[in-house]
Structure 1
Amino acid sequence: MSSTFPIHFNFKPSSFLQQHSHVVVFSVKKSMNTAFNATRNPHGRYCYRRDTVRNPVLCSVSTRACSDDGEGEVFVTQEEASTSSRSSRSNDGYVALFVRMLGLDNDPRDREQAVVALWKYSLGGKQYVDNIMKFRGTINLTLNLLKSESDSTCEAAAGLLRMVSSFNVYRDTVGETGAIEEITGLLRRYSLSPDVKEQSLCILWNLSVDEKLRARIANSELLPILIKFLEDDNVKVRESAGGVLANLALSQSNHKIMVEAGVIPNLAKILNTEVVESKVVRKEARNALLELTKDEYNRILVMEEGLVLVPLVGAAAYKSFRPALYSWPSLPDGTKIEQGSKGPSRYGASELLLGLNIRDRNLDLEEAKMNVVVGRTRQQFLARIGAIEMEDGNKSNSEEGTSSQGFTLLPWMDAIARLVLILELEDELAITRAAQSIADASFNEHMRFSFMQAGAIKHLIRLINHPSDAVRSAVILALYRLSISDGVCLKIEAEGVLYPLVYLLKQSESATSQGLIEMIVNMLSRILDPNKEMKSKFYDGPLNGSKKGMNTTAIPTSDGNETIAQESSSSTDGRELVEPTVLNRLVDILKKSDLDLQRKAASILEFIAASEPCVEQIISADIESGLEAVFQQKPLTEKGYGIDDEKPELQSLELEEAGQAVSAASRLLAKLLDYDLFRQSINSLHFTKLLRAALMSSIPLHNKDWVAACLVKLSSLSGPNLDLENPVNIEVTLYETIPRLIEQIKSSFSPEVQEAAVLELNRIISEGLVDSTQAVAAEGAIFPLVKVLETGTERAVEASLTILYNLSMNSENHAAIIAAGAVPVLRRIVLSERSSWMRALRLLRTLPT
């Protein structure tokens, strides 16, 4: 608990029994070197004056008292004086006098001086506070003084409450008497002295140690006030406000209201500023943000403010860091920097100065590269001199030989350099945690590109073959998150990541965990994306006749410009991946894994199938059974799956995932159908039935495109058949073409696209396709067709009238046509005698109007 505060009161008890002309003098020593002298005048009042104290012996120090449960922090001030305990005990008898002077019937000046005396007396420690708390009503009377217009009275009252609330035994008493509400009203005043703010905030700091009281503080009007005080001119006020917020963040139930109040940007500003700030403020801001980052959503909000979670691995882990002592720094792309001196510092000071002053040199560098040099040289310098983590971690963690489980928050430039530095260490736990932090921090393009510039990719790829399964999993996850950016993905591929991943995939299931296999498949599906070449054609601009393809891509830089990243000279060929073990593992994933992994495995096999020499080995791996397993998923074989389920949102998600897996498998099947060897080995009739069932299922419409294309291609193996009565063509029209056209009519903003869709739909219906009108009505086409009558082109209006007339032949559609508002629209067309007024009149006659 907090230390004691011995304060010397010099009283003459007999003076109180004498006449008015006698003088009672007591002194209360303060750190400002003043004392109070009190005399009793003939009118019965006490007159006080402030005199200068000679040879002051009091000093102010900061101590911390923890609550009983170890949570939170209590900040108190201790003033020590060379006073004997006997003199202190002699003053205990006057506590009752000063408590009585707090009464509401006393003069305000008497009440002020009484609370000042009690405040100074309480600084002696718990035994002095115990003497004060023996008198009931002391807290209520002190709280009443917080309403005073005098800053000195408010300061003394708040100071007394601060001391009382610093002890666990009295904390509930202070909280239950309405202290939080009174302090809220006090802090909302327009003008308050810094001392009053500090004392009031320290009361809240003490009370916020209690979890029950935290909820009351967070749910009050105090949060905006606390946030505002983070920018106060007085450093003590900022420290106290930060301490309260740090304690409030200890309760997870307060996180939502704190985030909504805007606490994250204000706390992050303290850690991001380059201005020298109080260590206490920075520590409390960091503690509060670290508690908030335990929630994944809040972690992203903190990282969006430019702060990144970095694991504290302990000073012992950095002993394995062995940079070249006399190396000269180079840029991430390998560009050498001309040396300006012949003797670089042993501890890297010259490199640090170069990094900090790189802007002053006549170098044409991008902003991202300059930030990388600054961050890297700064962190390496701290590691060399052994000062790294000294501010972020405590002494015990620095002295321990094992890695700490804690985290710190660093600005993104220093955080990226620190994480890359940890990847060069030998501690497995440190490497694992650093890779996980890189994965979490790779949430936007800027961060992924910065990690690439900082050289993280080469270290991560080097660690793929690490003997620890935890390290490999974390490293592959980090690479997968980084590869979301097309340019970074090309860099990862150029660094040679493919072969280590394939090697791990070839290992037996006993040597490679299922989770690691899933991560490898995720990574390979990103690198071996069959659409990569097509994407590069769009992102790189129009082709100029040169062989560009997958070899280049545009990478956005931090300043918004673009730079071209070159891929390796030889693009990845599917033949390099064809090994029986790899293919068998991929086919097994198609048979047994979940829908998402099935989609990714099918994508990888599609990439491999682009090379004709690989087809024979793919067939040998029993690819037919793998495709059959994908097309026989439960959402595809059960008609109306998920419609009447109790959890429609989960069923919708499963249908979406099933649709993606079926679409990827259909693309793979369509690719394999290009080869005679596969066409001769496949059971066409069986796969035609499976694809027809998938086409009629409830999977999303956009996933049926490749199913329909593959079905038509498969049906054409027996020879071209253009007859619409062919069951396959009919089903493709009913379950893919008609829904797609209706979706275009509903959602298209282009009159030309809408017109083309209406004309195509009219052609299908006019050709008399079986069940076509029923399919159009079932897909909800009546309402968008009526809308076309009002906003469409003339040709679209004519085609829409024809479709609606055909639909009106079935009386069951009359109610829907009238409900869509067709009647007044048709009347306007007839009265305006437009070119299509005869068709509108004919439709009106068929409706029951």
Structure 2
Amino acid sequence: MDEFRFVKLQDIEASRSNSSNPSDGYVALFVRMLGLDNDPLDREQAVVALWKYALGGKHYVDAILQFRGSINLTVNLLKSESSATCEAAAGLLRVVSSVNVYRDLVAESGAVEEITGLLRRPSLTSDVKEQSISTLWNLSVEEKLRVKIAYSDLLPLLIKFLEDEDIKVKEAVGGVLANLALSHSCHKIMVEAGVIANMAKLLKADVEASKVIRKEAKSVLLELAKDEYYKILVMEEGLVLVPMIGAAAYKSYRPALHSWPSLPDGIEIEQNSKSPSRYGASELLLGLNIQDKNANVEEAKMYAIVGRTQQQFLARIGAIEMEDENKSNSESPSSRRFTVLPWMDGVARLVLILELEDESAIARAAESIADASITEHMRVSFKEAGAVKHLSRLLHRPSDAVRLGVIHALERLSASNDVCQRIEAEGVLHPLINSLKHSEISEGLTDMILNILARILDPSKELKSKFYDGPVNGSKKERDATCNAPSAEKMDEIHILNSTSSLQSVHAEDLLDSAFLARLTEILKTSSPHLQRKAASILEFLSVNEPCIEKVISVDIESGIEAVFCQKFLKDMESDIDCQQPELHALEVEEAGLAISAASRLLTRLLDSEKFRCTVNSSHFTELLRRILKSTIPLHNKDWVAACLVKLSSLSGPNLDFENPINMEVTLYETIPRLINQIKSSFSPEVQEAAVVELNRIISEGVVDSTRAVAVEGGIFPLVKLIEKGNGRAIEAGLAILYNLSMDSENHSAIVAAGAVPALRRIVLSQRPQWMRALHLLRTLPT
């Protein structure tokens, strides 16, 4: 075989260029040289020559593959210790796998497994890594091969190579991951391997990366973001999904060239010169210089200005989405496409779209704002970028799609108290209340509007500071021109409200609208529990002031509250229907409990009004609440039920005697379970001590069935644990309760099973102050 060593690479290149039949010449010779019985140097020369030969195209690849076993021999060379051999073998496999018809042949020859072993080596040259991973890039075009690659040991190795110094290696890895992301079956394992975080790093503004790898990273993240849960993970990495609306849509953008620079949220900047620049240079320079250390601007405002400046500049020169314009004809319509941007640019781009004329683009941008508003940081960023101002303005648009997207965005943004105040200051109450008054709107839209209103009209906040104050920035905001002037009757109502406060009314006209109040009452009567809860909360806010209570009473609020107290699960409980879906039933009970608790707070508030007390059917509501108190709603929802029951019972005169049926039921179904829960779950010894002492007081006063209630609620085990680790006062009270429980022989087994006997013996033998009581309890137990 020594004569083969003198075959020059130039000879086969000449054969490739001169021969009419590429299979002539030295192809057969070099394929024979790949044999396992040849010298390693001969095999290296052969595979290098064949690699260079195959670069001529498919015709030359066909010539090599007409010799059976050529691919298997090439794959075997990936085990070589020579970097040059491995590079050439991987390079030849890369070229062959680029031809569609040979892709399966390469995979079936074991290329994926051998490349996996090769990439595991501790030290590899960049060229070997590039050629090997590029082969995987070609193979991953096929669906079945993607799954094979994703569920092998390759995925962690590929992610590790994203940190490689060679940009070609990183681009090859990005190509493989981009292809894997095209298969939904690969998404789960890719996310678990950390692909989202690593791809997100490549898109950050402070990370150097080529245009190719950024494009691949976007492709991966956009495919993963098609799943709603993975979309959240993408956005948690500081990225924003921005709709691709087409470069033509930005032509309608008209920046104010002659206006004085202002912050994105609308706050004007103090003027230091007589006139602004005619061409907007003052705006641009402000954005470019805002990072000056001497600038007295908060970090969030700084990022908002920089992002706005960059996006406005791109819009002015027509550079936004230019590179995607040529693809819009061949790919999916732009109405369904997205891009991924770092949060600063993404927030500014979405706010800029809100200023355009295209209603479809505006609606999509609003929905993207809603999707991105999952953290406090993002909600505040949108506020500082001026999104709230534009969204509030767009509420008056006639387009249903725009208003739906805008309301969705405002609902997500209002989860932040800071942003919620800004939303209120922008005057959103009037359009939202007008929208809610139309009963034909969908339940989803009703839910979002009620969410916003319930956050603005929070009954836990002081009424006067919310109901009568002006906008939070201290400046009175005029109502939109579309609002009608208040009628004489409503002016009288506002005058009445103003007479009760020194502050001027801002929202009274809208909130005391009979149609609005009637709509809230209708929601209480007909809607699902989670809508009932929000409507009751808003009505509770309105019921703080006596003039407001009169308006609330006038819309038959009593029937609405009654409907909330007659929940479906209560009827099912009475009919003893077996629940086929316990998880779903538990969720329904939880939602119903929240609605009942809110309605109980509302009823308790209304009972402060003498007019309401004179008209309400207190006995009927007492019966309803007593039934609810005995139901399976969560314990924390029963506190307001119990409070409302006590208040109703007090209407007939104070009666604190435990023999009063209502007081006894409140004790059995709310007080005792609450105290036992505190003993069980509280980490504070002081809270546990107070709870057990109070529980002992109730039992010692002889409340009927109190000891049985303690046993039913599972109080024996936490009481035994308390006497083991508690202090003197808690131990004393715990022993007293257990002694009362031991009077019923049915509780003996539970007390013994809880470990009471050894605990009591330790107390007796240690001669603690409570040893006599412990001894009495021991004597009652079977030992």
TM-score exceeds 0.5: yes
Offset of residue 634 of structure 1: 2.1
Offset of residue 448 of structure 1: 0.7
1:567–1:249 Cα change, 3 Å: farther
Q: State which of 520, 529, 541 in structure 1 corresponds to 2:449.
A: 520
Secondary structure of the residue aligned to 1:397 is: coil
1:776 counterpart residue number: 710
Q: Which moved more, 1:574-583 or 1:159-168?
A: 574-583
2:489 counterpart residue number: none
Q: Which moved more, 1:137-146 or 1:461-470?
A: 461-470
- Looking at structure 2, the residues matched to 202 and 345 of structure 1 have their Cα atoms a distance apart, in angstroms, of 53
Offset of residue 519 of structure 1: 2.1
1:531 counterpart residue number: 460
Are 2:722 and 1:788 aligned?
yes
Are 2:115 and 1:183 aligned?
yes
Check conservation: 1:316, 1:399, Cα contact below 8 A: no
Q: State which of 91, 95, 100 in structure 2 corresponds to 1:168.
A: 100
1:664–1:642 Cα change, 3 Å: farther
Check conservation: 2:716, 2:738, Cα contact below 8 A: yes
Q: State which of 394, 409, 420 in structure 2 corresponds to 1:489.
A: 420
1:159–1:337 Cα change, 3 Å: farther
Q: Which letter maps to 2:365?
A: A
Check conservation: 2:22, 2:63, Cα contact below 8 A: no
- Provide the identity percentage: 68
Residues 566-608 of structure 1, C-alpha deviation per residue, up to 9 Å, x if partnerless? 6978676556412222122111111111110010111111112
Q: Which letter maps to 1:47?
A: F
Check conservation: 1:442, 1:448, Cα contact below 8 A: yes
2:387 counterpart residue number: 456
Q: State which of 809, 820, 831 in structure 1 corresponds to 2:765.
A: 831
1:633 counterpart residue number: 567
Q: State which of 155, 158, 177 in structure 2 corresponds to 1:245.
A: 177
Query: Equivalent residues in 2 for 1:536-555 (5 A)?
Result: none
1:505–1:370 Cα change, 3 Å: same
Secondary structure of the residue aligned to 1:146 is: helix
2:558 counterpart residue number: 624
Secondary structure of the residue aligned to 1:310 is: strand
Q: State which of 249, 267, 281 in structure 2 corresponds to 1:334.
A: 267
Query: Equivalent residues in 2 for 1:249-288 (5 A)?
Result: 249-288=181-220
1:581–1:615 Cα change, 3 Å: same
1:192 counterpart residue number: 124
Q: Which letter maps to 1:788?
A: L
- Looking at structure 2, the residues matched to 465 and 287 of structure 1 have their Cα atoms a distance apart, in angstroms, of 37
- Looking at structure 2, the residues matched to 642 and 321 of structure 1 have their Cα atoms a distance apart, in angstroms, of 64
- Looking at structure 1, the residues matched to 332 and 230 of structure 2 have their Cα atoms a distance apart, in angstroms, of 32
- Looking at structure 2, the residues matched to 87 and 272 of structure 1 have their Cα atoms a distance apart, in angstroms, of 52
- Looking at structure 1, the residues matched to 313 and 342 of structure 2 have their Cα atoms a distance apart, in angstroms, of 17
Q: State which of 616, 635, 644 in structure 2 corresponds to 1:701.
A: 635
Check conservation: 2:433, 2:510, Cα contact below 8 A: no
1:491–1:399 Cα change, 3 Å: farther
- Looking at structure 1, the residues matched to 782 and 235 of structure 2 have their Cα atoms a distance apart, in angstroms, of 63
Q: State which of 300, 306, 309 in structure 2 corresponds to 1:374.
A: 306
Check conservation: 2:97, 2:106, Cα contact below 8 A: yes
Residues 358-393 of structure 1, C-alpha deviation per residue, up to 9 Å, x if partnerless? 2236321111111111000100000000001235x3
Are 2:641 and 1:712 aligned?
no
Q: Which moved more, 1:499-508 or 1:592-601?
A: 499-508
Offset of residue 518 of structure 1: 2.6
Q: State which of 621, 626, 631 in structure 2 corresponds to 1:687.
A: 621
Check conservation: 1:389, 1:398, Cα contact below 8 A: no
- Looking at structure 2, the residues matched to 419 and 668 of structure 1 have their Cα atoms a distance apart, in angstroms, of 40
Check conservation: 2:16, 2:22, Cα contact below 8 A: no
Residues 322-361 of structure 1, C-alpha deviation per residue, up to 9 Å, x if partnerless? 1113444322462426568988474x56633431222236
Secondary structure of the residue aligned to 1:230 is: helix
Check conservation: 1:807, 1:813, Cα contact below 8 A: yes
2:89 counterpart residue number: 157
1:383 counterpart residue number: 315
Residues 399-454 of structure 1, C-alpha deviation per residue, up to 9 Å, x if partnerless? 99984321111111111100000001111221111111111111111111111111
Q: Which letter maps to 1:158?
A: A
1:673 counterpart residue number: 607
Are 2:281 and 1:362 aligned?
no
- Looking at structure 2, the residues matched to 82 and 681 of structure 1 have their Cα atoms a distance apart, in angstroms, of 107
Check conservation: 1:464, 1:476, Cα contact below 8 A: yes
Q: Which letter maps to 1:515?
A: G
Offset of residue 231 of structure 1: 2.1
1:59 counterpart residue number: none
Secondary structure of the residue aligned to 1:114 is: helix
Q: Which letter maps to 1:256?
A: K
2:63 counterpart residue number: 131
Q: State which of 740, 746, 752 in structure 2 corresponds to 1:812.
A: 746
Are 2:336 and 1:405 aligned?
yes
Offset of residue 107 of structure 1: 1.9
Offset of residue 253 of structure 1: 1.8
1:217 counterpart residue number: 149
1:333–1:395 Cα change, 3 Å: same
- Looking at structure 1, the residues matched to 714 and 405 of structure 2 have their Cα atoms a distance apart, in angstroms, of 48
1:289 counterpart residue number: 221
Give the TM-score of the pair, scaled to structure 1: 0.84
Check conservation: 1:493, 1:527, Cα contact below 8 A: yes
1:796–1:311 Cα change, 3 Å: same
Secondary structure of the residue aligned to 1:98 is: helix
- Looking at structure 2, the residues matched to 444 and 102 of structure 1 have their Cα atoms a distance apart, in angstroms, of 59
Secondary structure of the residue aligned to 1:329 is: coil
Check conservation: 1:574, 1:614, Cα contact below 8 A: no
Check conservation: 1:695, 1:735, Cα contact below 8 A: yes
Q: Which moved more, 1:751-760 or 1:611-620?
A: 611-620
- Looking at structure 2, the residues matched to 127 and 257 of structure 1 have their Cα atoms a distance apart, in angstroms, of 38
Q: Which moved more, 1:784-793 or 1:728-737?
A: 784-793
- Looking at structure 1, the residues matched to 22 and 141 of structure 2 have their Cα atoms a distance apart, in angstroms, of 34
Residues 596-629 of structure 1, C-alpha deviation per residue, up to 9 Å, x if partnerless? 0010111111112223223233223221221111
Offset of residue 803 of structure 1: 1.1
Q: Which letter maps to 1:490?
A: Q
Offset of residue 820 of structure 1: 1.0
Check conservation: 1:487, 1:565, Cα contact below 8 A: no
Q: State which of 25, 28, 40 in structure 2 corresponds to 1:108.
A: 40
Q: Which letter maps to 1:235?
A: I
Secondary structure of the residue aligned to 2:242 is: strand
Offset of residue 644 of structure 1: 5.6
Question: How many pairs are equivalent?
Answer: 754
1:443 counterpart residue number: 374
- Looking at structure 1, the residues matched to 359 and 707 of structure 2 have their Cα atoms a distance apart, in angstroms, of 66
Structure with bigger helix share is 2
Q: Which letter maps to 2:267?
A: G
Offset of residue 109 of structure 1: 2.0
2:243 counterpart residue number: 311
Unpaired runs of at least 5, structure 1: 1-39, 54-80, 535-546, 554-563
- Looking at structure 1, the residues matched to 624 and 563 of structure 2 have their Cα atoms a distance apart, in angstroms, of 10
Secondary structure of the residue aligned to 1:44 is: helix
Secondary structure of the residue aligned to 2:328 is: helix
Q: Which letter maps to 1:336?
A: I
2:494 counterpart residue number: none
